[in-house]
Amino acid sequence: MTDTYAVFGNPINHSKSPYIHRHFAEQTGEPIAYTKQQVPEGEFEPAAETFFAQGGKGLNVTVPFKLDAYRYAARLTPRARRAGAVNTLALEPDGTVLGDNTDGIGMVNDMHNLGWELAGKRVLILGAGGAVRGILPPLMEQKPASLTIANRTLHKAEQLAKGFADLGAITPAGFESLEGQQFDLVINGTSASLGGDLPPLPESLLAPGACCYDLMYGAEPTVFLQWAEAHGAEKRADGLGMLVGQAAESFYLWRQIRPEVIPVITELRRKLSAKKGA
Ligand code: ATR
C-alpha cells in the first residue's frame, strides 16, 4: 500500500521537498508517494480537507500557509504550539490531524552534523519574524550561555524575549546596541538577504572561532555568509542542511524511521552548484 504525502505552498514550483522525500523513500524502502500542490491563498483549509478525505497521510506546509496549518491542526506538538506555526501535518491513527514544527530541530540537527557545539555558546539571532520563532524552542533546549535577538524593529525582539522567557533568558537588542559585544554563533534569520541586504553589523561582532549560519541558502554564499567570511568567521553554513533536516524530521513523524540526511544534502548541493555553472 502506497501512502500519499504532499507539500502545500504558493508558489511551490521550486520546492525541493518532493525530491528530498523521494530520496528518503528510496533510501528507507518506505512505500510513499509525495507530490507538490500550489494552493490559492485563502484556500488552505478546503485543500487540506480534500487531501485528507482522499486518503492523504501527511502534509508539509510552506510559505504562506504555516499559520493556516497551525489553525487547521486538531492537536499540536509542544514545539509547534510554541512556534505558533506548523510545517508538518500528520494523520493520526484515530483520524485526527496533528500539527508539528520541524524547522528548529532541522536546524539544530544540521549544526550537530556540522560539528558545531551550541551548549555554553554566546548566540546571536538576527531577525524576529516567523522563521526565528520556529527555531527558538529547539535552540534554547541546547542551553547556550546566552541568547540575544537583534531586530530592526526592537519591540518584536522584546516580544519574543517575553514570550519565550520560561525557556531561558533572551536579551532583545537593536542592531546599534550590538557594538562592543562578541558572539560565538550568529544566526541570520532576517529575510533581508532575499533582497541582497544585510542588517548593519559591527565590525568586531564575531568572537575568535565564531560560527555563522544563514537560514536562507542559495547557489552562491548569501550576503550574510560573505560578510561572515570577510569578518573572520571560522565556520559558515547556509540553510540547505536545515531544509533537508526539517524534511527528515517530518518523515520520521510520518514513518517512524529517521532517514540519512548527508547524502541528500550532498546531492542537492551538487545540483545547486551545477545550476550556477550552467
Ligand atoms: P520570516 O517568516 O521569513 O521570518 P517575517 O516574519 O516577515 O518573515 O520576518 C522577517 C524578518 O526579517 C524580520 O525580523 C524583519 O525585521 P522587522 O521586524 O524590523 O521588519 C527582518 N528584515 C527584513 N528585511 C530586513 C532588512 N532589510 N534589514 C533588516 N532586517 C530585515
Centre of ligand 1 to C-alpha 35, Å, is 30
In the chain, what percentage of residues exceed pLDDT 70? Answer: 99
Is-above-0.85 flag for pTM?
A: yes
User: Alpha helix (H) ranges present in the chain?
Assistant: 17-28, 44-53, 66-72, 78-83, 103-113, 130-141, 154-163, 223-230, 240-255, 262-277
In the chain, what percentage of residues exceed pLDDT 90? Answer: 95
Q: Is the dihedral of CA 211, 216, 221, 225 positive or negative?
A: negative
Residue from 126, 151, 223 to probe ligand 1 pocket by mutation (most atoms less than 8 Å from CB): 151
Q: Which CATH superfamily is domain 3-101+241-277 in?
A: Leucine Dehydrogenase, chain A, domain 1 (3.40.50.10860)
Catalytic residue at 143?
no
Residue from 155, 175, 190 to probe ligand 1 pocket by mutation (most atoms less than 8 Å from CB): 190
**130 C-beta closer than 6 A to ligand 1:** yes
Distance between CA atoms of residues 245 and 265, nearest Å: 9
Name residue, grid cell 532575499.
Answer: 194
Centre of ligand 1 to C-alpha 34, Å, is 31
Mean pLDDT confidence for 241-267: 98
Q: Convert the pLDDT of each residue in 203-240 to its tens digit.
A: 999 999 999 999 999 999 999 999 999 999 999 999 99
- Measured from the Cα of 133, ligand 1's closest atom is 4
What pairs with residue 8 in β-bridges? 37, 61
Centre of ligand 1 to C-alpha 222, Å, is 16
CATH class, domain 104-238, is alpha beta
Domain range annotation of the chain: 3-101+241-277, 104-238
CB 133 within 8 A of CB 85: yes
Same fold, 3-101+241-277 and 104-238: yes
CB 79 within 8 A of CB 104: yes
The one-letter code for the residue type at 21 is: H
Q: What is the distance in angstroms between the CA of the first residue and the CA of the last residue of the chain? A: 40
Cell digits for 96? 485526527
CB 264 within 8 A of CB 20: yes
CB 123 within 8 A of CB 111: no
